[in-house]
Copies of this chain bind each other. A is one copy, B any other.
Amino acid sequence: MTSYSQLNTSQRILMGPGPSDAHPRVLQAMATPLIGHLDPEFVEIMDEVKSMVQQTFQTENYLTFVVSAPGSAGMETCLVNLLEPGDEALICIHGVFGGRMAEIADRCGAKVIKVEAPWGEPIDPEQVRLALETCTPKIVAIVHAETSTGVLQPLEEIGRMAHDAGALFMVDAVTSYCGVPLKVDEWGIDAIYSGTQKCLSAPPGLSPVSFSDRAVKALENRKTKVQSWFLDLSLVKNYWGGAKRAYHHTAPVSAVFALREALRIVLEEGLENRFIRHRENHELLATKLAGLGMEFLVDPDYRLPNLNAVRIPEGVDDALVRNRLLNDYNIEIGGGLGKFAGKVWRIGLMGESSTPNHVNMLVSALEEIIDPNLIHNGKASSVSTYG
């Protein structure tokens, strides 16, 4: 029988698409001795978490809770609860995660109408308007911050169009939540999900979710059972709310402790201050990368400050640079997903990883790793061979 050594991981600096660096207070909360998932103290903690999720989503939605699984399960929670077989679902796709929504909606038996934009660009509301002339969808779904492309999608106009068409407006806020302005109630968002490991800087594993009263009404009017038992909100809601908490599943107690602490840190900093910090560190990075002759993928008007998609300079070896960043500097950045593999780096400045020090560490390391001829003048010639 093989024996395994003590856990011994490197001290990574996390500047990819998530997880981001966790605050020591959050890590400490993870190590809190366990209490029962129906302990009155835990019920109180769930109530506090719910209230802090409401504050950070800027919503008063009663049905606000945390899915006991990562962001992808949050996405599936929204879709399996809102959609029934035969429903039309208008899904906006401008990257990997819009595509994932369409895939899940299809598995719900919905008829999916796709509105697509080239990767690296936002969805034009006009496209949605035209599509809405051809269908009467139950939901219009869109990704606020496309983690695969670094696009920040304006939401308000599309939300109004969805409502005018009688549809519910569903938003993926995995990478935007707690990093850029996000006003669930003011923007008319009916269903939203996020993750914990991006701008919240908690460990991955949970998905904060919120449903408007309109969305709740749609749940109540379902004709069929939700196909997932684990994600069925008619059951989950009795665990996360109500006078008497009904056992549904065993919540990940430690992860909820950590989420509570991460939310506390967000509210201590203040949402507005946090957004400004993310914006400023993005600008610092943009300035420094411009100095190296490196280019952003996305038009400045739609650039996500917390996830920076940057074109890999011509002639630079993607894998070689990322391996050296990881092995020599302990810095993780993200490679391109899908059609951007090998062409784009995704640099996360999220939560605790959004500091001037992070920007400086990364830019200095890139300067040391990449042949200056390939970057300072933006011209390709050959890959640096040192290292």
CB of A37 within 8 A of CB of B252, answer: no
**Total number of A residues with any Cβ neighbor in B under 8 Å:** 78
Known: A229-B100, A264-B4. A36 touches B253 (CB 8 A): no
CB of B229 within 8 A of CB of A107, answer: yes
- Which stretch, A10-18, A161-169, A211-219, A299-307, touches the partner chain B? A10-18
Most buried by B among A36, A55, A228, A261: A36
CB of A103 within 8 A of CB of B229, answer: yes
A22 at the interface (CB under 8 A from B): yes
- Whole-angstrom distance between the alpha carbons of A9 and B125 in the complex? 48
CB of B250 within 8 A of CB of A71, answer: yes
A186 at the interface (CB under 8 A from B): no
User: Which residues of A does B touch, CB under 8 Å?
Assistant: 1-4, 7, 9-12, 14, 16, 18-22, 27-37, 39-41, 45, 48, 51-52, 55, 68-73, 76, 80, 100, 103-104, 107-108, 195, 197, 203-205, 225-230, 247-255, 257-258, 260-261, 264, 267-268, 326, 332, 337
- Whole-angstrom distance between the alpha carbons of A268 and B6 in the complex? 12
- Whole-angstrom distance between the alpha carbons of A255 and B202 in the complex? 12
B residues near A16, Cβ cutoff 8 Å: 36
CB of B12 within 8 A of CB of A249, answer: no
B residues near A33, Cβ cutoff 8 Å: 9, 11-12, 21-22, 27
